[in-house]
Chain A
Amino acid sequence: GEDVEQSLFLSVREGDSSVINCTYTDSSSTYLYWYKQEPGAGLQLLTYIFSNMDMKQDQRLTVLLNKKDKHLSLRIADTQTGDSAIYFCAEKGFQKLVFGTGTRLLVSP
Chain B
Amino acid sequence: DGGITQSPKYLFRKEGQNVTLSCEQNLNHDAMYWYRQDPGQGLRLIYYSQIVNDFQKGDIAEGYSVSREKKESFPLTVTSAQKNPTAFYLCASSSLATEAFFGQGTRLTVV
Chain A residues at the B interface, C-beta cutoff of 8 Å? 31, 33, 35, 40-45, 48, 88, 90, 92, 95-102
Q: Contact: A97 with B101, CB < 8 Å?
A: no
User: A45 vs B104: C-alpha distance in the bound complex, in angstroms?
Assistant: 12
Chain A's closest residue to B107 (CB) is A40
Interface readout for B25-40 with A: 1 if CB under 8 Å, 0 if not? Answer: 0000001010100000
Given the complex of chains A and B, what is the CA–CA distance between A100 and B37 in angstroms? Answer: 12
Residues of chain B with a CB closer than 8 A to A97's CB: 31, 33, 45, 48, 92, 94, 100
CB distance from B40 to the nearest CB of A (A): 8
Q: Which of A31, A42, A95 contacts B104 (CB 8 A)?
A: A42
How many contacts between A and B, using CB within 8 angstroms? 54
Query: What are 16 sample pairs from A and B whose C-beta atoms fall under 8 A apart?
Result: A33-B100, A40-B105, A41-B104, A45-B99, A45-B100, A45-B101, A45-B102, A90-B100, A92-B99, A92-B100, A95-B48, A95-B56, A97-B31, A97-B48, A98-B45, A101-B41
B66 at interface (Cβ–Cβ under 8 A)? no
Question: Is A33 touching B48 in the complex (CB atoms < 8 A)?
Answer: no
Given A41-B105, A48-B99, A99-B35, verify A88-B42 contact (CB < 8 Å).
yes
Please classify the interface of chain B as helix (H, G, I), strand (E, B), loop, or mixed, using the class held by over half of its residues. Answer: strand
Min Cβ gap A33→B in Å is: 6
B5 to chain A, nearest CB (A): 11
**Are A42 and B90 interface neighbours, CB within 8 A?**
yes
